[in-house]
Amino acid sequence: MKDIQTELECISMRLEMLNEESRRLYKLLENFKVPNTMPPEEIKIKILETLEKRKKEMRGEIEELSIRIRELSNTEY
């Protein structure tokens, strides 16, 4: 049961990191001053794409952890 608790804490920490990164990126997006070389909308799209990519990566990690938790749960019974 302790392994499951550890995995859940790990998921929680990773979600918190993702939320913090999301807040940081959105704040950057709001305050962003753009030089003339790239349109503001294009920069916003790039930032949002980066955020979406990170979210997908985190979902994958969380899915892997969920599978490990289920496996641990099954072996403990």
pTM over 0.85: no
Q: Kindly report, residue by residue over 24-44, the tens digit of the pLDDT.
A: 877 877 777 656 677 778 878
Distance, in Å, from the CA atom of 14 to the CA atom of 23, rounded to the nearest integer, reads 14
Among residues 2, 22, 10, the alpha carbon closest in space to that of 62 is found at: 10
Structural domain that includes position 19: 2-76
Q: Kindly report, residue by residue over 43-75, the tens digit of the pLDDT.
A: 788 888 888 888 888 888 888 888 888 888 887
Determine the pLDDT at residue 8: 80
Q: Could you identify the residue written with the tokens 């003339």?
A: 36
Distance, in Å, from the CA atom of 65 to the CA atom of 9, rounded to the nearest integer, reads 11
Q: How many domains does the chain have?
A: 1
